[in-house]
Amino acid sequence: MTPIKECLINKKTNINPMWLMRQAGRYLPEFREIRKLNTNFIELCLNAELSEQITLQPLDRFDFDAAIIFSDILMIPYGLGQKVEFKKNFGPNLGEINLNELSDLDELSFTDRMSPIYKLLQNLSKNKKLKNKDLIGFVGAPWTLLVYMINKVSPKNGLSNNFFADMERVDYLLRILDKFIKIHIKNQVNAGATIIQIFDSWSGLIEKDFDKFLYNPTLSLVNFTKQLGVPVICFPRGISDYPLFCKNVKPDMVNIDYNVEPENLLKNVSIPIQGGLDPKILLTDKKSLKNEVTKYLEIFRDHPYVFNLGHGILPETRIDMVEEMVTIVRNFK
């Protein structure tokens, strides 16, 4: 059994399992070389051969306990026919939603459009480098995808003024997202994903109707994934009540963000926990890094825990700091 599965299923492990969100990406010089020659991000995500190389790059360097596929949560809006592009120094930029096209979309057409991602997983599942390691597939949660599809850009400056203007459209999109996220999960599992992580990157923006936008949509995906026989990890970034989320949604593991106070969480959450370290710590010095990493390992010493970050690794992170972090985690007793 893989170290992460042992933590998830048996609630214990002989080592401190670890992997990093966005571990395959911009902080790696070998990734930047590929990216320089492949300026269209969506096309790069749909290149199964290059995506396989990118997925494996961090394992070649750091021997993490899992590979997470090189892809993006916005591949689902792309699969639904919405225009998605990534602009340099701006981020994602989405086109208009065509509700008529959405209503005509079937599972076969969606799967065909997304097929390079499943080819990537099939290739990785046969790769010897992943022996005794997990292969993590992932999706965006319905709320976060809804935010991008309606807002059309990153909501770092808040939601657009007319976001909730047409609630019929909101409800329709949530139904569509539930259907096609499940298809994407099923296809990833069938292609070889051994764990699914659900990223709700903008759940912190929800101010009311938590059942409608957070708990019920995510629970629907969690139950569906469990029925496929695959463990599911949830990352509801920015929410104020992780214990209530765990009680309502019942994931196999919860990934916490760096604003969570881990000691308090431990008193109220019994399921396995992942993550928490502020990625900015990797931009400081090795002494500060050791203090913070050790803090999390000490707090969760007697609780099933997978070491990870409280958000994705930052592009300006130095390789030697990641190496140091790995050494600290591996040597912790």
User: pLDDT digits over 44-81, tens only?
Assistant: 999 999 999 999 999 999 999 999 999 999 999 999 99
Q: CA 269 from chain center: how many Å?
A: 21
**pLDDT for the residue 11:** 81
| C-alpha dihedral (191, 93, 236, 17), degrees to nearest 10 | 50
The CATH code that applies to domain 3-331 is 3.20.20.210
**pLDDT for the residue 87:** 87
**pLDDT for the residue 319:** 98
**Domain residue spans in the chain?**
3-331
Q: Is 293 left (phi over 0), alpha (psi -120 to 50) or beta?
A: alpha
- Burial classification of residue 274, based on how many CB atoms lie within 10 Å of its CB (0-12 exposed, 13-18 middle, 19 or more buried): buried
Alpha helices in the chain (DSSP H): 3-5, 29-37, 41-45, 48-62, 75-79, 99-104, 107-113, 115-125, 142-151, 167-191, 210, 216-227, 242-249, 262-268, 286-299, 319-331
**pLDDT for the residue 161:** 87
220 neighbors 174 (Cβ within 8 angstroms): no
Q: What is the pTM of this model?
A: 0.97
Residue ranges, the chain, pLDDT below 50:
none
pLDDT per position as a tens digit, 249-277: 999 999 999 999 999 999 999 999 999 99
Q: How many CB atoms lie within 10 A of CB 60?
A: 11
42 neighbors 85 (Cβ within 8 angstroms): yes
As a whole number, the mean pLDDT across the chain is: 96
**pLDDT for the residue 13:** 73
Report the sign of the C-alpha dihedral through residues 149, 154, 156, 159, in that order: negative
**pLDDT for the residue 95:** 96
**pLDDT for the residue 67:** 98
